[in-house]
Chains A and B, each alone.
Chain A
């Protein structure tokens, strides 16, 4: 039996690093402090009884897999690299190198979740903080289009609502919780105030609050018509926001992936910025995947742009909608792909899936998925945080080093990507092969 303390759960963007894992016979039998999602992640993990490499569905040595993958990627006219959000930064870095050498697109799942948040940041900036600032200071905690009770189950207890912090010593009693959403989610149970707005009216609701923050007179009838909520309730909310000592708004895909997308987020970031004329106020996207925040960081420090980057001309260009994966595939442009620990064959729209199924591609995943099943070359890789280490970034950009509990018969995705990169560099005459 082995005990691993302070292990990190990579299931969601909370990246809780206080998990105690009990290991027996190469299985995790207990995951103390983990939430329901984290327990499922750790306890259901089994060593995959599958070959580490399959070429056209048949077992093959890793080296043959690397060669075949390199040949697919090097012979393509418009290769794309996608996923990255469930890999540690060390592997993401290799993926961006690969994209550089072959002139590919490199894009993470950010483009289908908080890509609009990244674009909004480029528009207006962002006033934000690490989660400890919320835990220690926030007396007004708002959630907009985000349902952490189901998506980030320890968010309330560990970071945002329950902690007894330095300046909120009574924890939950010292905080007011507000939820804004189009439906009564499980998170509403935790809220003191709930604002149920009609679908596709987020922008109008945020713009109403911006107007109130700036003391602009509003037509009560129009506000209620546009937001489904009486003006008096918005006024009351703004009063609470202004009188809070430290306010925070967490937002989710209910804001970023509904009508308005980056305009919604830009409005929210602007509202929070404006609130700083009255009190301290911050905003934070509740990111989903365990290391999607790391993907944004790695792609940015290497290319200057966070996602949707095209390297075909030999240098990075950024254009969401053009170089983002769901679009490149749906338009039938990409002619080969490298999918790193993501499952687009389950998650993307039909047109994108159909095109992906029609082109040769390489897939890495710890599990068998619809994406690995249709791949020309499929690698079974060790699971990050369970079987391999590395670095992940929490949803607030705090980098944390992993403490893997188990060994794996499979290579890490870093190892596989390095194997492919080595073959690509040899073919292209790059670096030591120049």
Chain B
């Protein structure tokens, strides 16, 4: 036969999308895809990997991280001090050199994800005007399939369409904008609040029903209308929401109201850890967990999915499309601060941050993240994330796995934290331990399903042959930090931490159908206010390299 046939023989397979929970199976691969075992017993594999005693899972999927584009690159530029102290990433005969720190350089990002067994990742906040930049970085980020979410929550055309009660126009615009920026999903970041930030010093909305300056719309209206538009376009992934009031004591009511504002439409609430705080507004002394209340609502509303945004102790860089949040964090920590507002679209804030286990607020943030994983009973609707690098680096994923699978370890770490955490969160009472099957859900099968990627996150014939093989270990952090073999689209890319191949990977994006009549109206608006020409705005196919259009539903 002409094509290479790979057999991963005798591994213990965790493939939750197909109900396989630790059964010994062979997995066959050809042409970059999982295939059925050959029916003819005379057909031999071209290569066989002996996986006996090893754990086989689909490749990991990071559905919310910041790895490419304008704010990521500014963070790299702004933090030389982190890199000088970090381990050097040397060039080899196969790989480019690079730098670490909380925001690794592009090639290094790809190699590190691959080294952890992750084969797909999505940058969660790209201004469409600057989408070309993110795509250029993708072209230098190997070993991963990747995509981006398009910032829309403070877009003038969006707010204007809502103000004028023109849902058809909004829907067409969202479709056009996703296609023009070659994105995968619409993203809201502090909807309406960033526009207020552009109008006033320390400006922001305080609640979901505040009016946005000039546009006379509220965050609630933006959330509701965008969720409806995303559903009407039948997008594979619905509206992806960074709620208002991130990080503020008492913000859990804003989060609850955001969930209600979806009004039954699908919606993904991201890095929900940062949005689950009780306490008096602006009063850190009353800061406590409100996960239980929010998790109750989440449990009874299956239109809702979440990722956690786990905080890990240590130094990192906060980077966000939430301009006023960047200012707020800068005022708290007093570090250097970058802010950039993008015309008609969005904002950006970047500042260094160090999470300390002896800080009550930080330790509570850590505990609240873990509460989310442990209190959500349906693992298909909660996804592992650190909101890299905001809560911590994606390199901390193996540590999170251990915290979830090993309650004695979790309780040991809890003992090192500020003592008040025991009173203000329920973490100490939570004895649940994740199984490997559940870990495979929250890191692979779940995010694939939530993103509408039917060819990812599982190992049935037809799926992408993105596969990670782990050596079992009592210490789950050790197990997940160093996969035995990582396979991307059928190619072995990592063995025992050594990079073996560096395929670029594909850009995953949507191309929704929309009413093209709208373009004349967009153009008129665009050329009145933007400083580049309408024709020069859309990202052309030339930037996609190898790519795949993810179909919208029918």
Interface membership of B327, Cβ < 8 A? yes
Q: Which residues in chain A, 298-318, are within 8 Å of chain B measured between CB atoms? A: 298, 300-306, 311, 313-318
Choose the segment among A41-49, A121-129, A218-226, A377-385 that binds chain B (4+ C-beta atoms closer than 8 Å): A121-129
B137: A residues at CB distance < 8 A: 301
Asked whether, in the complex, the Cβ of A314 is within 8 Å of the Cβ of B97, the reply is yes
B78: A residues at CB distance < 8 A: 121-122, 125
B201: A residues at CB distance < 8 A: 276-280
Q: A282-B341, A297-B73, A304-B105 are in contact. Are A136 and B529 (CB under 8 A)?
A: yes
Interface membership of B532, Cβ < 8 A? yes
Query: Shortest CB–CB separation between residue B398 and chain A, in angstroms?
Result: 24
**Could you mark each residue 312-344 of chain A with 1 if its beta carbon is under 8 Å from any beta carbon of chain B, else 0?**
011111100000000000000000000000000
Closest to B213 in A: A167
Task: Identify which of B91, B200, B338, B529 contacts A132 (C-beta below 8 A).
Answer: B529
Closest to A159 in B: B531
Task: Tell me what chain B mostly uses at the interface: helix, strand, loop, or mixed.
Answer: mixed
Q: Which residues in chain B, 97-130, are within 8 Å of chain A measured between CB atoms? A: 97-99, 101, 103-107, 129-130
Asked whether, in the complex, the Cβ of B80 is within 8 Å of the Cβ of A301, the reply is no
Interface membership of A401, Cβ < 8 A? yes
Interface membership of A130, Cβ < 8 A? yes
Query: Shortest CB–CB separation between residue A96 and chain B, in angstroms?
Result: 8
Asked whether, in the complex, the Cβ of B529 is within 8 Å of the Cβ of A166, the reply is yes
Interface membership of A174, Cβ < 8 A? no
Choose the segment among A227-235, A251-259, A426-434 that binds chain B (4+ C-beta atoms closer than 8 Å): A426-434
Q: A89-B136, A300-B76 are in contact. Are A397 and B336 (CB under 8 A)?
A: no
Asked whether, in the complex, the Cβ of A127 is within 8 Å of the Cβ of B338, the reply is yes
Query: Shortest CB–CB separation between residue B499 and chain A, in angstroms?
Result: 12
Closest to A279 in B: B201
CA–CA, A169 and B146, complex, Å? 41
A185: B residues at CB distance < 8 A: none
CA–CA, A93 and B97, complex, Å? 13
Q: A301-B137, A314-B90 are in contact. Are A128 and B98 (CB under 8 A)?
A: no
Q: Which residues in chain A, 237-290, are within 8 Å of chain B measured between CB atoms? A: 245-246, 273, 276-280, 282
A135: B residues at CB distance < 8 A: 343, 529, 531
Task: Tell me what chain A mostly uses at the interface: helix, strand, loop, or mixed.
Answer: mixed
Asked whether, in the complex, the Cβ of A302 is within 8 Å of the Cβ of B77, the reply is no
CA–CA, A124 and B351, complex, Å? 10
Question: Chain A: how many interface residues by the 8 Å CB criterion?
Answer: 72
B98: A residues at CB distance < 8 A: 302-304, 315-316
Asked whether, in the complex, the Cβ of A125 is within 8 Å of the Cβ of B77, the reply is no
B77: A residues at CB distance < 8 A: 118, 121-122, 296, 300, 305-306
Asked whether, in the complex, the Cβ of B339 is within 8 Å of the Cβ of A127, the reply is yes
Asked whether, in the complex, the Cβ of A133 is within 8 Å of the Cβ of B105, the reply is no
CA–CA, A246 and B201, complex, Å? 9
Query: Shortest CB–CB separation between residue A431 and chain B, in angstroms?
Result: 7
Interface membership of A68, Cβ < 8 A? no
Asked whether, in the complex, the Cβ of A130 is within 8 Å of the Cβ of B531, the reply is yes
Task: Identify which of B91, B351, B532 contacts A315 (C-beta below 8 A).
Answer: B91
Query: Shortest CB–CB separation between residue B170 and chain A, in angstroms?
Result: 20
Asked whether, in the complex, the Cβ of B97 is within 8 Å of the Cβ of A130, the reply is no
Q: A276-B201, A391-B136 are in contact. Are A125 and B351 (CB under 8 A)?
A: yes
Asked whether, in the complex, the Cβ of A133 is within 8 Å of the Cβ of B341, the reply is yes
Task: Identify which of B198, B336, B340, B531 contacts A137 (C-beta below 8 A).
Answer: B198
Asked whether, in the complex, the Cβ of A399 is within 8 Å of the Cβ of B133, the reply is yes
Asked whether, in the complex, the Cβ of A398 is within 8 Å of the Cβ of B129, the reply is yes
Choose the segment among B246-254, B490-498, B533-541 that binds chain A (4+ C-beta atoms closer than 8 Å): B533-541
Task: List residues of B whose CB falls within 8 A of some A CB.
Answer: 68, 70, 72-74, 76-81, 83-84, 88-91, 93-94, 96-99, 101, 103-107, 129-130, 132-133, 136-137, 139-140, 198-203, 214, 327, 330, 336-344, 350-351, 529-533, 535-536, 540, 542
5 A-B pairs (CB sep. < 8 Å)? A167-B214, A305-B80, A314-B88, A316-B83, A397-B340
New A-B pairs, 9, CB < 8 Å, besides A126-B338, A304-B83: A118-B77, A123-B336, A125-B338, A125-B339, A128-B340, A167-B214, A301-B136, A305-B76, A314-B91
